[in-house]
Amino acid sequence: MLQKIALLSFFFVLNFTAVAQYIPLSPSAEVSILTIGPGDNLYDKFGHSAFYIQDPERGIEAIYNYGVYDWDTPNFYLKFAQGKLLYKLEGVQAQAFLESYIEQNRWIQQQTLNLSYTEKQAVFTFLNNNLKPENKYYKYDFFYDNCATRIRDVLVSVLGSNLQYTDDFIAENKSFRDLIQQNVHWNTWGSLGMDAAIGAVTDVKADSWQYQFLPDYVFDAAATATITNGERIPLVKNTKTLFESSRKAQAPNFITSPLFVFLLLGLLIIGITIKDRKRNKRSRGLDVAIFASTGSIGVFLCLLWFATDHSATVNNYNLLWAFPFSILIAFAIGKKKPKLWVRRYVIFLLLLLVLITIHWFTGVQEFAYGFIPLFIALAVRYLYLLKALK
C-alpha cells in the first residue's frame, strides 16, 4: 500500500502539481546520467543530457530533462532573439523519452552513478523540488547554463565537496568556437550563421569546467570524476549503451554550401568591377546593394551585441566588414557624383578589412571561412571605388 502511495505521489510530481518535496526511494534505486548523440537539426547537433531515475521496487522509470521550452510562450521568437527565453525542467516517463530519440536514430549512453542511498535520495529530492512551478524555469545560456551544465551543477549542489572533477578528460584547451565546430561542419549555413553572430568572447580558451556546456564533455567529465564516501571512488559505477546509432557523418553539398555561394557572389562582384573599369562607368546599383546589405547585417549584429542578453554575441568583430553606418551611406554612394567624404568613407572601409586580417591572424577572433571570397571581393570593389570616386 505504501509503495502505491509513493508511486502515485511520484507521478503527481511529474505532472507538475505536487507540493511535497520528499518521495522515498527504495535501496535498489539508481541515479544515472543519460547522454544523447547529435541529430539532424542545427539545435540537435550538440547532443543532449538528462537525469535517469530507476527504482524497480517503486515502479519508477523517470527522466528529468532541463532542455525544455514552451512554444506557447508569449512573444516566443522575440524572447528567443533577445536571449530572454525561459527553459524549464520537465519530468517524463523514461520509455517515451528514450523511444523518441531512438526514432531519431541518435545514440544513447547511460552512466550509472556510484552514489550511496542517502545521496541518491538527495538527488531525487532536489530534482523533484526543481519540478515545482516556482523552481523549474531558468534563463537559458548556450555556454553557461543549459541542459548539459545543469546536470553537473545539480550534482555539485547536492554532493558538495565530496564530488571532485578533474581535467584529465581534455587533451588540449580549445576555444568555445573550436568546440562548436566539432559538432557542426564549417562549410554549412548553420556554422556560418553562428560564426557571424558570435563574437570574440567565444575565441578564448575554455577550461575543463567550461567544456561541459557540451553533453559529450559532461559524459567525459563524469567518467573521470571521483566521489568520497569514506574512500575516494569513481563517480560512475558503470556505463552502458542503450541505443547504438547507425547515423553516418555526411559532408555538405558543395554546390549549396556557403563557400560556393559566396565564391559565385565574389566572382560576380569582381567581374562587374573589371567591366566597370574597362568601360569607365560605375555600376552604382551594385555599390548601393553592397552598402545597404552589409550595413543591414551590421545593424543586426549590433542589436545582438547591445540589445540582447546573449553572452556569446558581444565583442563581435564581424562589424568590421558589416559596418552598420554603411546602410546610411547607401543613398550617397548611389549618386552619380558622390561628395568627397564618401570616398574617405571607402578608405575607412578598406582599413576595417585590414583589421579583419590582423584580428584573424593574431587570434582575437576567427571568421567564417565561407566569407573569404566575399572579403576579397569587397576589397577589390573598394579599391576600385577609390579611383572611380576621385
Distance CA 133, CA 138 (A): 11
3-state helix, strand, coil in the chain (%, to 5): 50, 15, 35
Distance CA 97, CA 361 (A): 45
If you average pLDDT over residues 317-330, what whole number do you get?
Answer: 97
Among the ranges given (64-78, 151-165, 194-208), the one the predictor scored with the smallest mean pLDDT: 64-78
pLDDT value at position 297?
Answer: 98
Tell me the pLDDT band of 29, cut-offs 50, 70 and 90. Answer: very high
Cell numbers found for residue 337 = 557624383
Higher-confidence residue of 221 and 172: namely: 221
Distance CA 293, CA 128 (A): 50
Distance CA 212, CA 110 (A): 17
**Counting every residue, how long is the chain?**
390
pLDDT value at position 43?
Answer: 82
Distance CA 217, CA 101 (A): 19
Full-model pTM: 0.88
- Residue 389 has φ and ψ, to the nearest 5°, of -95, 5
pLDDT at 150 over 50: yes
Distance CA 28, CA 73 (A): 39
- Of all residues in the chain, the percent with pLDDT exceeding 70 is 93
Higher-confidence residue of 250 and 211: namely: 211
Residues 6 or more apart whose CB falls under 8 angstroms from that of 384 comprise: 273, 276, 277
Could you tell me the sign of the dihedral formed by the alpha carbons of 265, 202, 310, 63, in that order?
Answer: positive
If you average pLDDT over residues 110-114, what whole number do you get?
Answer: 98
Q: Is 377 left (phi over 0), alpha (psi -120 to 50) or beta?
A: alpha
What integer best gives the mean pLDDT of the chain? 91
If you average pLDDT over residues 201-213, what whole number do you get?
Answer: 96
Higher-confidence residue of 230 and 337: namely: 337
pLDDT value at position 258?
Answer: 97
Kindly state the DSSP code that residue 312 receives in the 8-state scheme. Answer: T
pLDDT value at position 6?
Answer: 44
pLDDT value at position 247?
Answer: 84
If you average pLDDT over residues 291-319, what whole number do you get?
Answer: 95
pLDDT at 17 over 60: no
pLDDT value at position 15?
Answer: 47
Distance CA 138, CA 153 (A): 13
Higher-confidence residue of 69 and 190: namely: 190
